[in-house]
């Protein structure tokens, strides 16, 4: 087969992305020039962060132009190479086009992976990919949990959140998760082993704050934030002296059409000598081996469990991506292109 289907941006979304903002375009098989190689993608990671690159000019990765393919982390096998570091048959994880075949170059995030080292190749994009790495560095480097502390995590039933929460448990913390809906909330305790769960759906700021205070009467030492908005505002109100907020993501704002409502509890950072710090996992590329070693051993020992939601075929890319914004994903969202 010589054609290559890719997902392109047709128009910049206004608010929540819609299926017709994207298109599937068939093009010729790419040919590498010097320094380039071609991957047949096996799995594609679909991340909320793609939304930032569709219309946000100040994202830390480049804006996608109209007509250009979406980009994300993929796992692929090399089918042609004009880079001496890469051979046909190598398995590569890196930042590539969302397409059946990607023409690419070696970059700081590129790494070769051993498919025999994991129970499923998809793990290289989930627990041993950006998801696990983000949870690891955000919780350990920014949150710096100490045994006995109380940790709050938003989107705690999601890909990054569920791993971040379990890492805090491994470090001996009491962990409270926030998730949307009864099913995900109960999963926080029964499946991920957290100490308490809060269903944020339908709660306003006072109700959320009260739910956090009930679960953590002595306050929150660390808040791992994937959401922003009123969840962040409520968490700020509950911080302890010396509290830390690890700012991982702001999914409640990615589709905002008007001005974002201001935070009302920022003064708590002063009153509690607390700290809020954002981070981008890309900045930790030189420390990935240390994180991957810890994450692998925690998975092997059963100390971390994780969910993947894998949809089939390139034509599922857009519907799967849209599920991230209404909570229909039940774990790390990925595409399986192995049956192409």
Q: Where on the chain is the footprint of ligand NDP (CB under 6 A)? A: 47-49, 130-131, 134, 155, 157-161, 179-180, 184, 226-227, 248-249, 251-252, 279-281, 324-325, 327, 329
Q: How far is the CB of 66 from ligand NDP (least distance, A)?
A: 22
Length of the chain, in residues: 340
CA distances from residue 257 to 63, 182, 188 in whole angstroms, order as listed: 18, 28, 31
Contact 186, 254 (CB under 8 A): no
From edge to edge, which strands make up the β-sheet containing 239-247? 196-199, 174-179, 150-153, 220-225, 239-247, 275-278
- Name the one residue in this structure whose structure tokens are 């957290």: 194
Q: How far is the CB of 15 from ligand NDP (least distance, A)?
A: 11
Q: How far is the CB of 201 from ligand NDP (least distance, A)?
A: 7
Among residues 170 and 247, whose Cβ is nearest to ligand NDP? 247
Among residues 142 and 274, whose Cβ is nearest to ligand NDP? 142
Among residues 85 and 287, whose Cβ is nearest to ligand NDP? 287
Among residues 186 and 240, whose Cβ is nearest to ligand NDP? 186
Among residues 216 and 333, whose Cβ is nearest to ligand NDP? 333
Among residues 90 and 207, whose Cβ is nearest to ligand NDP? 207
Q: How far is the CB of 157 from ligand NDP (least distance, A)?
A: 5
Q: How far is the CB of 322 from ligand NDP (least distance, A)?
A: 11
Q: How far is the CB of 92 from ligand NDP (least distance, A)?
A: 19
Among residues 145 and 180, whose Cβ is nearest to ligand NDP? 180
Strands 196-199 and 174-179: parallel
Q: How far is the CB of 305 from ligand NDP (least distance, A)?
A: 14
């Amino acid at each position: 087969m010589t054609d290559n289907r890719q997902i392109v941006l047709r128009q910049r979304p206004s608010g929540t992305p819609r299926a017709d903002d994207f298109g599937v375009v068939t093009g010729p098989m790419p040919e590498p020039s010097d320094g380039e190689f071609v991957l047949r993608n096996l799995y594609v990671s679909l991340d909320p962060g793609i939304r930032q690159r569709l219309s946000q000019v100040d994202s830390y990765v480049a804006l996608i132009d109209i007509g250009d393919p979406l980009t994300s982390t993929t796992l692929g096998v090399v089918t042609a190479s004009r880079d001496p570091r890469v051979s046909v048959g190598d398995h590569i994880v890196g930042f590539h086009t969302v397409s059946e075949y990607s023409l690419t170059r070696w970059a700081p995030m590129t790494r070769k992976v051993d498919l025999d080292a994991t129970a499923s190749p998809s793990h290289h994009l989930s627990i041993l990919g950006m998801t696990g790495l983000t949870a690891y560095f955000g919780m350990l480097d920014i949150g710096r949990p100490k045994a006995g502390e109380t940790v709050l995590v938003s989107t705690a039933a999601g890909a990054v959140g569920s791993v971040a929460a379990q890492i805090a448990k491994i470090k001996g913390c009491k962990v409270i998760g926030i998730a949307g809906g009864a099913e995900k909330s109960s999963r926080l305790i029964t499946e991920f082993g957290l100490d308490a769960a809060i269903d944020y759906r339908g709660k306003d700021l006072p109700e959320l704050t009260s739910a956090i205070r009930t679960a953590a009467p002595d306050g929150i030492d660390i808040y791992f934030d994937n959401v922003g908005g009123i969840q962040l505002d409520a968490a700020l109100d509950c911080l302890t002296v010396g509290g830390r907020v690890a700012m991982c993501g702001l999914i409640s704002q990615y589709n905002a059409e008007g001005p974002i409502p201001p935070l009302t509890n920022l003064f708590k950072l002063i009153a509690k000598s607390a700290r809020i710090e954002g981070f981008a996992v890309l900045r930790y590329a030189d420390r990935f081996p240390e994180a991957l070693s810890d994450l692998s051993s925690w998975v092997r020992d059963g100390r971390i469990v994780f969910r993947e939601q894998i949809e089939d075929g390139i034509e599922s890319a857009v519907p799967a991506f849209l599920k991230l914004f209404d909570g229909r994903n039940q774990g790390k969202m990925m595409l399986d292109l192995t049956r192409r």
